[in-house]
C-alpha cells in the first residue's frame, strides 16, 4: 500500500481537520484573553490566561507533529496518548474558565 | 461494568494495549476515525468558546443565571472532549477486531442539551432585565 496515492485524499483531509481544530482552539484562547482584558480578573484571570496559552501551544505542537507524520501516502493510525493529550488541551481551558467564573464571586 | 470502563480508559493511554487487539485496519479507516475524533474535539472547543461567550456577551442577564449557563457549557465542552477520546478508542478497537462500530447515545444527548441551551439563551435575550 505504501507509495500508492489514496484517491480519497485521506491524509490531506486529515491534515485539514487538524488545522481546523487549531483554529477552533485559537477562538477559545482569544475569548480567555478578552475576558482578562475586559473584566480584569486579577491574578486568577492571568492564571486562566496562562492555562489557555499552554493548552493552545500544546495543541499546536500535537497538531504539527501529527501533520508531519501525515505527509506520507499511507500513514499509520494516531497513537492513543497523542490524542489523549489533545483532549487535555480542550479540557484545560474549560476547567480554567469554569474556575475563573466560579471563584470570582458576585 | 466498572471493569469494562477501566479497560476502555486504559486504551486511551496505552498504544501497546491497542496493538494487542486484533490487527491494524486499512489506514484510511483509522484516518476517518481520527477525523471524527477531531470533529468532536472541535465541538468540545465550540462549547467551551460558547461558555466564555455567554459570560462575556450576555451581560443583560443577572450574574447567577449567566454564570450557571456559562459553567454548564464549559462542563459540556469538557465532557465532549472526554467522550471524543473514549469513542475514538472504542471505534479503533472495534475496527481492529473486525467488530461492528459501537453505538452511542451521546449525539442525542448533545442535541437535546444544545437545543435546551439555545432556548435558554434566546429566552434570556428576549425577557432579560435590560430588554
Q: Please check whether residue A83 is in contact with residue A99, taking contact to mean a CB–CB distance below 8 angstroms.
A: no
The predicted pLDDT at position A6 comes to 64
pLDDT higher than threshold 90 for residue A35: yes
The predicted pLDDT at position A2 comes to 47
- Cα radius of gyration rounded to whole Å, chain B: 19
Long-range contacts made by residues B98-104, C-beta under 8 angstroms, separation at least 24? Answer: B98/B22
Q: Is A9 exposed, middle or buried (0-12, 13-18, 19+ CB in 10 A)?
A: exposed
List C-alpha distances in Å: A89 to A34, B17, B89, B95.
19, 23, 18, 26
A76 → closest Cβ in B27, B56, B74: B27
Half-sphere exposure of B67 (CA within 13 A, CB side): 12
Domain that holds residue B33: 26-127
Q: Do B74 and A8 touch (CB under 8 A)?
A: no
A9 pLDDT tier (thresholds 50, 70, 90): confident
Q: Do B44 and A90 touch (CB under 8 A)?
A: yes
Quick one: average pLDDT of A23-37? 96
The predicted pLDDT at position B68 comes to 93
The predicted pLDDT at position B14 comes to 80
Predicted confidence (pLDDT) per residue in A54-99, tens digit? 999 999 999 999 999 988 877 888 899 999 999 999 999 999 999 9
User: Which chain B residues are within 8 Å of A106, Cβ to Cβ?
Assistant: 63-64
User: Which chain A residues are within 8 Å of B84, Cβ to Cβ?
Assistant: 87, 90
Cell of B72: 454548564
Is residue B106 situated within a structural domain? Answer: yes
Mean pLDDT by 10 residues, chain B (131 residues): 79 83 89 96 97 91 90 96 95 92 92 92 80 50
Is residue B19 situated within a structural domain? Answer: no
* One-character DSSP codes across B25-80: PPHHHHHHHHHHHHHHHHHHHHHHHHHHHHHHH-TTS-HHHHHHHHHHHHHHHHHH
Is residue B1 situated within a structural domain? Answer: no
Q: How many domains does chain B have?
A: 1
The nearest alpha carbon in chain A to B13 belongs to A81
Quick one: average pLDDT of A49-58? 97
Note whether A60 contacts B: Cβ–Cβ < 8 A: no
CA separation for the pair A89, B91 (Å, rounded): 22
Cell of B103: 453505538
Q: Do B55 and A35 touch (CB under 8 A)?
A: yes
Is residue B84 situated within a structural domain? Answer: yes
pLDDT higher than threshold 80 for residue A4: no
The count of CB pairs under 8 A between chains A and B is 143
Predicted confidence (pLDDT) per residue in B68-92, tens digit? 999 999 999 999 999 999 999 999 9
Cell of B86: 473514549
pLDDT higher than threshold 60 for residue A3: no
- Please tell me the distance in Å from A40's CA to the nearest CA on chain B: 12
Note whether A83 contacts B: Cβ–Cβ < 8 A: yes
Is residue B6 situated within a structural domain? Answer: no
Cell of B126: 428576549
Is residue B17 situated within a structural domain? Answer: no
Q: Please check whether residue B110 is in contact with residue B79, taking contact to mean a CB–CB distance below 8 angstroms.
A: no
Cell of A58: 500544546
For an interface test with B, give the residue of A101, A102, A105, A106 to mutate (most B CBs within 10 A).
Answer: A101
For an interface test with B, give the residue of A65, A90, A96 to mutate (most B CBs within 10 A).
Answer: A90
User: Which chain B residues are within 8 Å of A28, Cβ to Cβ?
Assistant: 45, 48-49, 52
The predicted pLDDT at position B124 comes to 82
Look at residue B103 and give its three-state secondary structure: coil
Q: Please check whether residue A21 is in contact with residue B41, taking contact to mean a CB–CB distance below 8 angstroms.
A: yes
A1 pLDDT tier (thresholds 50, 70, 90): very low
Q: Please check whether residue A47 is in contact with residue B69, taking contact to mean a CB–CB distance below 8 angstroms.
A: no
Is residue B88 situated within a structural domain? Answer: yes
The predicted pLDDT at position B20 comes to 87
Is residue B47 situated within a structural domain? Answer: yes
Q: Do A21 and B56 touch (CB under 8 A)?
A: no
Amino acid at each position: 500500500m505504501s507509495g500508492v496515492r489514496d484517491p480519497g485524499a485521506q491524509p490531506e483531509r486529515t491534515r485539514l481537520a487538524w488545522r481546523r481544530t487549531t483554529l477552533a482552539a485559537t477562538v477559545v484562547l482569544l475569548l480567555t484573553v478578552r475576558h482578562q482584558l475586559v473584566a480584569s480578573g486579577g491574578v486568577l484571570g492571568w492564571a486562566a490566561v496562562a492555562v489557555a496559552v499552554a493548552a493552545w501551544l500544546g495543541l499546536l505542537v500535537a497538531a504539527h507533529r501529527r501533520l508531519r507524520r501525515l505527509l506520507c501516502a499511507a500513514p499509520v493510525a494516531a497513537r492513543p496518548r497523542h490524542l489523549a493529550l489533545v483532549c487535555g488541551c480542550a479540557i484545560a481551558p474549560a476547567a480554567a474558565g469554569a474556575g475563573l467564573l466560579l471563584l470570582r464571586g458576585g | 461494568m466498572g471493569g469494562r470502563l477501566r479497560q476502555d480508559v486504559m486504551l486511551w493511554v496505552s498504544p501497546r494495549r491497542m496493538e494487542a487487539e486484533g490487527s491494524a485496519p486499512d489506514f484510511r479507516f483509522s484516518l476517518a476515525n481520527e477525523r471524527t475524533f477531531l470533529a468532536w474535539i472541535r465541538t468540545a472547543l465550540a462549547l467551551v468558546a460558547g461558555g466564555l461567550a455567554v459570560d462575556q456577551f450576555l451581560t443583560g442577564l443577572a450574574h447567577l443565571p449567566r454564570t450557571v449557563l456559562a459553567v454548564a457549557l464549559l462542563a459540556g465542552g469538557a465532557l465532549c472532549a472526554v467522550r471524543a477520546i473514549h469513542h475514538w478508542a472504542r471505534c479503533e478497537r472495534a475496527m481492529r477486531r473486525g467488530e461492528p462500530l459501537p453505538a452511542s447515545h451521546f449525539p442525542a444527548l448533545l442535541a437535546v442539551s444544545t437545543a435546551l441551551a439555545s432556548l435558554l439563551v434566546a429566552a434570556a435575550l428576549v425577557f432579560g432585565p435590560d430588554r
